[in-house]
């Protein structure tokens, strides 16, 4: 018989522990039955817990007491305001726990259920972040009577974070600055720094733009582009980057990211934003049409690839 894993042990422990006021299943296991976004054999378990004693989660001793001694355990700041997130790897599966302080949560719940919103910006941001998490599905395993109306109200009345047109333009301006900085690093031979910027800044910016575009189109999307390959292979292909093993690959990947960025901005803003002319900087070429460039980049002909790099 297979030993019980986190999906069995954590809910049973929370139900029996008087120090746990709320236990909520979130993440892919809350979407069980959905082929595109539900769990697979390697999915971790995600829970939200509310407790008056968050300090008990400072290390993995509590997991060891449940028969799940962690192979690795980390307590780090989470996205939900003052919340912390405990992440653990065990021999029977992985789990993420968002640790919420019970009394502040109770006060926030009363205010929101009564139709109000907290005046503090941090608390409002926490509600926005919570709405984004709950949009992916949730199931209250303990604390339904006390917190169920609050979770229902957040889901129904508080929209997750979105990018309006002004925020999209601001992201685009920052993206251009990061792109030029990356190209300068390549000119100096700083390949490690360029590769880091490619993924942390350019690819991340494009992922945020694509997420906003899909939300505007009424399509399912997760902020961290999880499950995108299953949801929409064509959309995932927009974010794909060429091989970046050397300087030539990094240049090509940066330019590919620039074309993706330009295309996403066109879809989001139409004529409301134009790609700047970078020719005075010794760069440029990204403003050329996709019909001129993409075929050269995507086929396997070495001469076409070289010509594409020269044009760009």
Domains located in the chain, CATH noted: 6-157 (3.30.460), 165-311 (1.20.120)
More confident call, 151 vs 37: 151
pLDDT of residue 112: 95
Is the pLDDT at 42 greater than 60? The verdict is yes
Is the pLDDT at 300 greater than 60? The verdict is no
Residues ≥6 apart with Cβ < 8 Å to 267: 213
Residues of the chain with pLDDT > 90, as a percent, come to 68
pLDDT of residue 242: 86
Which pair of structure tokens corresponds to residue 207?
A: 């992922």
Binned at pLDDT 50, 70 and 90, residue 57 comes out as very high
Beta bridge partners of 89: 72, 94
| pLDDT, tens digit, 9 for 90 and up, residues 67-108 | 999 999 999 987 645 578 999 999 999 999 999 999 999 999
Binned at pLDDT 50, 70 and 90, residue 43 comes out as very high
Binned at pLDDT 50, 70 and 90, residue 36 comes out as confident
| pLDDT, tens digit, 9 for 90 and up, residues 281-293 | 888 665 444 433 3
Q: What is the mean pLDDT of residues 213-236?
A: 92
Is the pLDDT at 258 greater than 60? The verdict is yes
Binned at pLDDT 50, 70 and 90, residue 49 comes out as very high
pLDDT of residue 79: 60
> What is the model's pTM?
0.81
Residues of the chain with pLDDT > 70, as a percent, come to 89
pLDDT of residue 283: 83
Quote the CA–CA distance of 267 and 217 in Å, as a whole number. Answer: 10
pLDDT of residue 286: 58
Quote the CA–CA distance of 148 and 59 in Å, as a whole number. Answer: 29
Report the mean per-residue pLDDT for the chain.
Answer: 87
More confident call, 284 vs 299: 284
Phi, psi of 58 (to 5 degrees): -65, -30
pLDDT of residue 34: 83
Binned at pLDDT 50, 70 and 90, residue 306 comes out as very low
Helix axes 247-269, 165-187, angle to 10 degrees: 170
pLDDT of residue 8: 94
């Amino acid at each position: 018989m297979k030993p019980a894993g986190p999906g069995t042990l954590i809910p049973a422990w929370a139900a029996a522990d008087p120090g746990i006021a709320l236990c909520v299943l979130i993440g892919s296991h809350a979407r069980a039955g959905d082929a595109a976004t539900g769990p697979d054999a390697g999915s971790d378990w995600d829970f939200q817990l509310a407790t008056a004693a968050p300090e008990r989660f400072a290390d993995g001793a509590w997991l060891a007491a449940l028969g799940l001694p962690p192979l690795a355990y980390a307590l780090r700041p989470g996205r939900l305001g003052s919340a912390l997130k405990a992440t653990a790897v065990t021999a029977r599966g992985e789990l993420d726990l968002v640790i919420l302080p019970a009394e502040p949560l109770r006060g926030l719940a009363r205010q929101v259920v009564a139709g109000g919103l907290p005046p503090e910006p941090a608390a409002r941001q926490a509600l926005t972040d919570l709405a984004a998490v709950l949009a992916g599905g949730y199931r209250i395993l303990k604390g339904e009577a006390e917190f169920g109306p609050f979770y229902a109200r957040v889901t129904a009345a508080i929209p997750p974070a979105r990018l309006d047109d002004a925020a999209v333009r601001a992201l685009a301006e920052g993206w251009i600055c990061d792109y030029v900085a990356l190209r300068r690093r390549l000119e100096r031979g700083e390949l490690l720094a360029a590769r880091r910027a490619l993924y942390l800044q350019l690819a991340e910016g494009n992922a945020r733009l694509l997420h906003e575009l899909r939300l505007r189109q009424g399509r399912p999307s997760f902020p961290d582009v999880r499950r995108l390959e299953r949801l929409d292979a064509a959309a995932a292909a927009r974010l794909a980057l060429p091989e970046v093993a050397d300087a030539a690959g990094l240049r090509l990947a940066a330019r590919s990211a620039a074309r993706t960025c330009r295309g996403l901005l066109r879809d989001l803003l139409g004529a409301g934003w134009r790609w700047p002319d970078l020719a005075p900087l010794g760069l440029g070429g990204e403003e050329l049409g996709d019909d001129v460039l993409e075929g050269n980049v995507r086929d396997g002909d070495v001469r076409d690839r070289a010509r594409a790099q020269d044009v760009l």
